[in-house]
A and B are shown apart, each in its own frame.
Chain A
Amino acid sequence: MATQVLMPALSPTMEEGTLAKWLVKEGDTVKSGQILAEIETDKATMEFEAVDEGVVGKILVAEGTAGVKVNTPIAVLVEEGETVSDAPAPAAVVESRGEPRPTVAAPVAAVAAAPVAAQGWPHSDLPEGPTKTMTVREALREAMAEEMRADPTVFLMGEEVGEYQGAYKISQGLLDEFGPRRVVDTPITEMGFAGIGVGASWGGLKPIVEFMTFNFSMQAMDHIINSAAKTLYMSGGQMGSPMVFRGPNGAAARVGAQHSQDFAAWYAAIPGMRVCMPYSAADAKGLLKTAIRDPNPVVFLENEILYGRSFEVPTDPDFTVPFGKASILRAGSDVTLVSFGIGCAHALAAAEVLAKEGIEAEVVNLRTLRPIDYDTVLASVMKTNRCVTVEEGFPVGSIGDHIASTVMQRAFDYLDAPVITCTGKDVPMPYAANLEKFALITPAEVVTAVKSVCYR
């Protein structure tokens, strides 16, 4: 009986990968546990082991092939004396497996995975000038590398940032360029190294403290809030904490309640800090450079699902994104969608659907949550007279709640409908694929909300 060897998913968010190298050839006998191939994900190059024993009957995907979707048959194992023709057709296998790894709602993946330039939306959030396509991951890495080259007091510390090359490959190559003095691997002690980072900022350095994910920042929250954010005030302006706390925030995919949480509203509540939540690669690069240069503590909330997505980024080496300045991702006249981070992907996907039904949504990307660019939000709402907020976090005390109350207080007379706040559901994140999908905010829910405020 021939066995299909399928392209494996090697991380929670992997949808495709590169078959970097075959370590077996057709006709080889393989044992269970033997390494068959090296597969490159967006995070790392992984060895792929055989589960079944047999003879490599046929290699279906040549080494060096990029963009191989998870669950694509890549080889066929046969038994001694068997031939490849005994194996079932590859297509049948893929179909029977269905959609491999439900991560975010399908329309979002389809729309936002491609470079924004390809969508034909106005580039109103980018300055004039040449751009290049890069992933959010590359943009973050480039921002750190450029700032570390420019300022010798900037250094990176965190778990696996150095020799491992970053748990999510954000810091890949930085150890080679800057050495272990400036790319510091820490033990798994978030409270301790966050405190050391704050102390180092008082001692004249500009630390970038990476949390492997922001879920673990709860261990360090006392230092972020009590030690970093409050010191400038408590010292009467004598000394602050010029530093960045950064890492992936929010839900990844199928990692359960303790690893899937959006801290945007938590940190945005604290005076004394800056809070950024980039959506695009240009946001990521421009905001991170601003964050590293800023004399205040900055909480910089990234998103694992966005890391691998590509966007246009200005090539101008002086390109930065200022704090407190939202961008308009899509112009529209009928409703304002206010979002930030991965919520923008949902908002843009919803806007595409709505456009087909004759509703033109304006999508405002807040980019920074402290300070918030109220003026851009209010100007848009005064134009469209309707507002829906979109975010992944919990509903109670959300950023959307704050936007809604601000719009109510400052643009009440312009509103033709109550503001609707679209958020994640008020539940710990479930593991089951169908429940997780249901717990997260989806473009379909945004579409429904927009129709409601448009009375359609």
Chain B
Amino acid sequence: MAKKPDTRPNVSKDDLLKYYREMLLIRRFEEKAGQLYGMGLIGGFCHLYIGQEAVVVGLEAATKDGDKRVTSYRDHGHMLACGMDPKGVMAELTGRIGGYSKGKGGSMHMFSKEKHFYGGHGIVGAQVPLGAGLAFADKYKGNDNVTFTYFGDGAANQGQVYETYNMAELWQLPVIFVIENNGYAMGTSVKRSTKSTTYFGRGLAYGIPGEQVDGMDVLAVKAAGEKAVAHCRAGNGPYILEMMTYRYRGHSMSDPAKYRTREEVEKIKTEKDCIEHVRDLLTQGGLASDEELKAIDKDIKAIVNESAEFAKESPEPDLSELWTDITV
């Protein structure tokens, strides 16, 4: 197995363990969500984040209190990474009153004002100007917070992305555009949808710097995130990060993923997996023992099981909830 050697010796054991733990939580959570979907406990669309965990965990490591994030419908990982309660997320997936949106939002529509997570958006690309708007508010108020606006390679071809690039640079908004390039817009590969595939370079026409990042390497992601954050906090306007990543599962639970080979998926899993990468850094560097990691695995499993139990036991919303939260 060709593993990436550690080229960043300054990372601490505690940090590596933290990333390992957070990425593993997302993976185990998503595996459980897939299982509950199969049991009919989760309905509708359910887009799993498995494979892409290093992106959100690495970028969250570059944030500070008050920073904001907004993303698409593939949002479970982002919510867990910013500290939202797995129980509340899972119960939303099952459509129960204990969910973040009392069961009224579902997998694609969850929010946490407390954690500055602004959705959860089902319309491809819509979150891009919304994220710039959050950044507009921070600039208006005069603080130095930044907004992470996540979208996929598919959304990157939407017109409103470029309307937003223009205004974000024109008004010097503190927004980081994070393109999670997992290679496929649903079933259409990047090369079948896009003539110029260097998404990070598309800000150049507007004067926005951008760079491509190995999105399977949490340390590379964090380093790129810190650079982008420093740029934004200093009042230099937006920044684009193109994260080269991969989703192991289909677009949604109902996607058979016939548009790619099994070999392609297996190759990434064995050569590039973000969790295995950190596990190797910990074990090969002698920073953590198998027992320590097993204890974390066990702990994560318990958290995920607890969230699933909560999501099953939490009651469905009272019928009166149909009529609440429409207007204030």
Contacts and interface: CB of A to CB of B under 8 A. Distances in A.
A199 B102 contact: no
A237 B113 CA distance: 10
Given A196-B167, A223-B126, A240-B328, A201 B111 contact: no
Given A195-B129, A226-B126, 14 more contacts: A181-B140, A191-B129, A195-B126, A195-B130, A195-B160, A205-B136, A227-B121, A232-B325, A234-B111, A238-B101, A240-B327, A272-B327, A294-B328, A295-B328
Interface in B103-158: 103-105, 109-113, 118-123, 126, 128-138, 140-141
A200 interface: yes
A27 B112 CA distance: 75
Contact of B128 (A195, A232, A237): A195
Contacts of A198: 129-130, 133
A200 B134 contact: yes
5 closest Cβ pairs, A-B complex: A199-B133, A203-B137, A195-B129, A192-B163, A236-B101
A200 B136 contact: yes
A292 B325 CA distance: 19
Given A186-B167, A237-B324, A199 B112 contact: no
B100 interface: yes
B166 interface: yes
A255 interface: no
B133 A202 contact: yes
B120 A192 contact: no
B164 interface: yes
Contacts of B122: 226
A233 B122 CA distance: 14
A236 B105 contact: yes
Contacts of A203: 68, 133-138, 140-141
Q: Max chain B CB contacts within 10 Å: which of A192, A199, A202, A271?
A: A199
Contact of B326 (A181, A193, A271): A271
A218 B132 CA distance: 21
B325 A236 contact: yes
B100 to A, nearest CB: 7
A236 B324 CA distance: 8
Nearest to A197: B133
A130 interface: no
B321 to A, nearest CB: 9
Nearest to A202: B118
Given A196-B136, A235-B101, A236-B102, A227 B163 contact: no
A194 B129 contact: yes
Interface in B274-328: 324-328
Contact of A196 (B70, B120, B123, B164): B164
B99 interface: yes
B77 to A, nearest CB: 19
A204 B123 contact: no
B137 A232 contact: no
A232 B327 contact: yes
Given A186-B167, A187-B166, A236-B102, A196 B325 contact: no
Interface residues of B, number: 47
Contacts of B326: 232-233, 271-272
A133 interface: no
Nearest to B328: A295
B130 A227 contact: yes
A113 interface: no
A291 B144 CA distance: 30
A242 to B, nearest CB: 8
Contact of A237 (B102, B132, B135): B102
Interface in B88-106: 99-105
Nearest to A191: B160
Contacts of A296: 327-328
B170 interface: yes
Contacts of A204: 137, 141
A234 B100 CA distance: 9
A235 B166 CA distance: 29
Contacts of B9: none
A200 B126 contact: no
Nearest to A205: B137
B40 interface: no
A231 B119 CA distance: 9
Given A203-B68, A204-B141, A234 B132 contact: no
Contacts of B110: 235
B133 A196 contact: yes
B202 to A, nearest CB: 15
B22 to A, nearest CB: 24
B159 interface: yes
A222 B127 CA distance: 11
27 contacts: A187-B170, A192-B129, A192-B167, A195-B128, A195-B160, A196-B129, A196-B167, A198-B130, A199-B118, A199-B131, A199-B134, A199-B137, A200-B140, A201-B133, A202-B133, A202-B134, A205-B140, A226-B123, A227-B130, A232-B326, A232-B328, A233-B105, A234-B109, A235-B105, A237-B102, A294-B328, A295-B328
